Amino acid sequence: MTDVVKKFEPLFEPKSIAFIGASRNPLKWGYQIPSNLIEFGYNGNVYPVNPHESDLFKLKVYRSIDEIPEQPIDLAVATVPSRLILEVVKDCAQAGVRALIVIAAGFGELGGEGAGKEAEMARIARDSGMLLVGPNCAGVVSPEPRNLYCQMPPVKTSPGCIAMASQSGNIGKTIQDLATKYHVGISRLVSTGNEAFLHMEDYLEYFGEDTRTKVVASYVEGVDDGRRFLNIARDVSRKKPVVVLKVGRTQAGQRAAKSHTGALAGSREIFHGACRQAGLTEVADVEELFDTITAFARQPIPRGRRVGIVSEGGGWGVLAADACAEFGLEVVDLPEHVLKQLDSFLPSWWSRGNPVDLVGGMVDQGVAKCAEALLACDEVDGVIALGVAFLARQAAEYRRRAASGTSKLASPALYEQIADIAIQRDLEWIGELVKLIDRYQKPMVIAADTVFTAYEDKNEALFALMGEGVMVYPTPRRAARAFAHLVERHEYLASVGAV
Amino acid sequence: MTDVVKKFEPLFEPKSIAFIGASRNPLKWGYQIPSNLIEFGYNGNVYPVNPHESDLFKLKVYRSIDEIPEQPIDLAVATVPSRLILEVVKDCAQAGVRALIVIAAGFGELGGEGAGKEAEMARIARDSGMLLVGPNCAGVVSPEPRNLYCQMPPVKTSPGCIAMASQSGNIGKTIQDLATKYHVGISRLVSTGNEAFLHMEDYLEYFGEDTRTKVVASYVEGVDDGRRFLNIARDVSRKKPVVVLKVGRTQAGQRAAKSHTGALAGSREIFHGACRQAGLTEVADVEELFDTITAFARQPIPRGRRVGIVSEGGGWGVLAADACAEFGLEVVDLPEHVLKQLDSFLPSWWSRGNPVDLVGGMVDQGVAKCAEALLACDEVDGVIALGVAFLARQAAEYRRRAASGTSKLASPALYEQIADIAIQRDLEWIGELVKLIDRYQKPMVIAADTVFTAYEDKNEALFALMGEGVMVYPTPRRAARAFAHLVERHEYLASVGAV
């Protein structure tokens, strides 16, 4: 275990947690955070602290942190109001608490007296060797190894390989919502708040060394020490993709960021140039952030910009071709031997070009066979596959008809039977696709409009893909953008001699 | 009823439909299209035609179109293979069929003999005064007045005010999937295919005069007669917003479009300039298309670019500010009297600026009160409201805990009770928001990350908004982009003296 990993152990893998300001009022942080933690099955010891209560959450309550018999405490979470915070920080430092999260706002972002208090809490933490997260933050999540969901939003994201440090609790929560929706897992999530003591780059450094983390995400409003941030970010990005959503790109955004966390956003151009040099992947939006980290989480890095497109429908193929070109990808001319191979199983009137249009999926195993022909070709660096699991729409509707029992045409049993056949076919194709990604070690980025309703319909085929960690994008454009970010990563790694 | 409306009546409001090539094989178009039509409750007479069958879909089958006793037939749908199509077109014309949809592909998009056949079918239609849709298309949808779901994808989109003509059945289906997911209704949808006879501009002309349609959407790969298209589009866009997704913007996209429907895409710049002049709203992507038509469907047109932002969370406010500025909107400085008004109910440490950050929604009725203060202000042309219905996340999780019965902390009844309170509060706020849009006749474009999981959670508050026709966007950026398109529309109407 490296020093950095050891340093962050009490924050992301705590064996004990104290809640200072624990409360019985369900509207308060002091209720919501510990109750989420307990309900989601945290595997460790929980100690509520409140001088006016005797039992909370079916646990004994302690009057102060130093009365807890287990010492030292790995992690303390302070949910008391800002005026009481300095006392709490002192008490925790004195009791030897190893990491402290301060939830309350009302410090550096207000300037003046608030900023003074924030500097003071940082000083205490530094002097005592206690990690300090926040203030003005939402908490921390680490599904493994201890089921740690220590935050305000009651969202139980599943375990995975994506770590995120966010200067907004709000944005961290959005990523969790997206992850939940698309069945994507995370390794760590921390809401960094005002960063009185621990800064964005400290978390990035940890993620770089954390063996549970393969992909790093960061939402940045501003950084105090640009040089340190970039030095660390550069080191991390040699090892793992680091995807940064930087805001304050405009004057309006800078003003908003300043009032939010007191961040002073620097010039857009300088930050952009520095990011490029450090090998960071920049994104403009929270959906683009999610689309990009999920691509990195599962897809191999392509060796170039040459894309083959396979589409179940003509329109989506055209959208993808435009989007690829607009994102700087090359919709490559397929060599004659690949065209001939495709001729052998596509209908005679197929378009003999890229995109490969399956003309409404009339070909059995069509997507997988075409995708394999493209992946096997040296002139193709990766594939965008569109419209997989298209029988899902039929299956869902047939099941609705079966369940309603009001069909005018067929028995519920017959509709169930057709639906099962459709799902079974989708599932077979999906299984093939996942194998191809691993066999050829080239990316196959997938989009399907059936994801729009996949959740209500409990689409087994798309769920199967997601279960394998393969993100299914809702549009060709978003798939192409994700592919382009994979290519940028290859080009960066090549530029520094790392591939 | 205008001549154009009358002309399209047999296509969008047919009293009788014949299916030529009706089949008992569930994998064939000849089964899927009529069975969807019947199962979804088409209100009119259905006549299967097939010389080798006697009953299908529990209906009498006719050997040929002219044997059907009801004459003339409003709409015929031909699902026979391409080699048999010319005969069918002739038979239909002879029998006085008023409109014919040809599903099969294999004509103009192949060039040569296929193109010749396509010209021939157009000639027959023209000579006989029969409308001809396609070939190489997916069908037509018109929920009202006859429950007409006459297409391959089995999707029952609800009635609404958005009409779409699409040169890809695939893209039409995507819009239907999105509409279903977001509870948005449509008035008409037609897959125009190769446009042998009826062209994109013919449908636009009809939508312009159709009283059920308020917003027009179009997916365009190419137009045969650019001048005619633009003349008609200009006339329509004076009356209703016309949103165009034009593909073939790049060489790769042009090649793909050509092989899809044989469309010859013109220069991007020429098309773009012409669209601007004609007052069309251009979009680059199918999600942007959907986001834009849903904004037009419900929101008033703002009188300028000055936006007020209200946010339940700081990060989303910053994202919105950046996005607004990047889309050319002005995140306006709020006048002192508005700041004072907000002081009266926001906590003392609020940011006193735009975005108005509600600091995690601690203020009762916060969004609605702030939004009203902004909408009432003459210096604000409209509002972007972020993070509404944020209690939904709590409510959903509390309900899960109640249902699982495995809570460690509270009884199912207590969790149900808290969930109900949360939902009730969300619903009250939502009700206020909708009233404000109508009272001030300014747009309030709404985004909330709870939409990501709203469907699985059956979020009543968001469903209530959608029930009022108010789209809830998943990110601040998409809300800002939709707002920008509303502003462009105002500017176009102002430039031609129409406001």
Tell me whether residues B174 and A316 touch, CB distance under 8 A: yes
Predicted local distance difference test score (pLDDT) of residue A360: 59
Predicted local distance difference test score (pLDDT) of residue A363: 55
Which of A171, A218, A319, A330 would best serve as a mutation to test chain B binding (most B beta carbons within 10 A)?
A319
Q: Does the pLDDT value for residue A89 go beyond 80?
A: yes
**Residue B49 backbone dihedrals phi, psi, to 5 degrees:** -125, 125
Parallel, antiparallel or unpaired: strands B148-151 and B139-142: antiparallel
* pLDDT tens, position by position, A319-353: 999 999 999 999 999 999 999 999 998 888 788 99
Report, as ranges of residue numbers, the positions in chain B whose pLDDT lies below 70: 261-266, 359-365
Average pLDDT, integer, range A435-464: 89
Tell me whether residues B259 and A453 touch, CB distance under 8 A: no
From chain B, the residues in CB contact with A219 under 8 A are 315
Q: Is it true that the peptide bond before B355 is cis, omega within 30 degrees of 0?
A: yes
Of A260, A309, A312, the CB nearest to B314: A260
Q: Does the pLDDT value for residue A245 go beyond 60?
A: yes
Predicted local distance difference test score (pLDDT) of residue A450: 84
Q: Which residue of chain A is at minimal alpha-carbon distance from B354?
A: A256
Of B106, B251, B475, the CB nearest to A285: B475
Q: Torsion angle, CA of B65/B67/B69/B71, rounded to 10 degrees? A: 40
Contact B188, B213 (CB under 8 A): yes
Among residues B421, B419, B424, which one has the least CA distance to residue B461? B424
Predicted local distance difference test score (pLDDT) of residue B451: 85
How many angstroms separate the CA atoms of A87 and A121, rounded? 9
Average pLDDT, integer, range A186-195: 97
Among residues A453, A136, A177, A79, which one has the least CA distance to residue B389? A177
Predicted local distance difference test score (pLDDT) of residue B26: 84
Residue type, B145: P
Q: Does the pLDDT value for residue A361 go beyond 60?
A: no
Q: What is the pTM of this model?
A: 0.96
Predicted local distance difference test score (pLDDT) of residue A320: 97
Give how far A486 is from chain B: nearest CA, Å.
Answer: 20
Average pLDDT, chain A: 93
Parallel, antiparallel or unpaired: strands A139-142 and A148-151: antiparallel
From chain B, the residues in CB contact with A393 under 8 A are 153-155, 173, 177
Residue type, B193: G
Contact A482, A291 (CB under 8 A): yes
Predicted local distance difference test score (pLDDT) of residue B354: 96
Q: What number does CATH give the domain A157-298? A: 3.40.50.261
Give how far B370 is from chain A: nearest CA, Å.
Answer: 17
Which of B58, B109, B170, B180 would best serve as a mutation to test chain A binding (most A beta carbons within 10 A)?
B170
Contact A435, A401 (CB under 8 A): no
State the count of interchain CB pairs (< 8 A) between A and B.
264
Question: Would the CATH topology of A1-137 be identical to that of A157-298?
Answer: yes
Give how far B396 is from chain A: nearest CA, Å.
Answer: 9
Q: What number does CATH give the domain B300-495? A: 3.40.50.261
Q: Which residues contact A418 (CB under 8 A, 6 or more apart)?
A: A394, A395, A398, B26
Predicted local distance difference test score (pLDDT) of residue B453: 80
Neighbours of A72 (CB within 10 A): 15
Q: Does the pLDDT value for residue A362 go beyond 70?
A: no
Give how far A251 is from chain B: nearest CA, Å.
Answer: 8
Of B257, B318, B331, the CB nearest to A318: B257
The domain ranges of chain B are 1-137, 157-298, 300-495
From chain B, the residues in CB contact with A179 under 8 A are none
Give how far B402 is from chain A: nearest CA, Å.
Answer: 11
Of B105, B154, B394, the CB nearest to A393: B154
How many angstroms separate the CA atoms of B341 and B346, rounded? 9
Which of B318, B388, B393, B418 would best serve as a mutation to test chain A binding (most A beta carbons within 10 A)?
B318
* pLDDT tens, position by position, A215-234: 999 999 999 898 999 999 99
Which of B27, B36, B251, B322 would best serve as a mutation to test chain A binding (most A beta carbons within 10 A)?
B322
How many angstroms separate the CA atoms of A47 and A195, rounded? 25
Q: What number does CATH give the domain B1-137? A: 3.40.50.720
Q: Which residues contact A264 (CB under 8 A, 6 or more apart)?
A: A222, A258
Predicted local distance difference test score (pLDDT) of residue B361: 54
* pLDDT tens, position by position, A40-75: 999 999 999 999 999 999 999 999 999 999 999 999
From chain B, the residues in CB contact with A477 under 8 A are 284-287
* pLDDT tens, position by position, A364-421: 567 888 999 999 999 999 999 998 888 888 888 999 999 998 888 989 999 999 899 8
How many angstroms separate the CA atoms of B310 and B369, rounded? 10
Give how far A111 is from chain B: nearest CA, Å.
Answer: 11
* pLDDT tens, position by position, A161-172: 999 999 999 999
Among residues A107, A99, A62, A63, which one has the least CA distance to residue A83? A107
Task: Write the Ramachandran bin of B218: left for phi over 0, alpha for psi from -120 to 50, otherwise beta.
Answer: beta
* pLDDT tens, position by position, B441-462: 999 999 998 888 877 778 888 8
Predicted local distance difference test score (pLDDT) of residue B408: 85
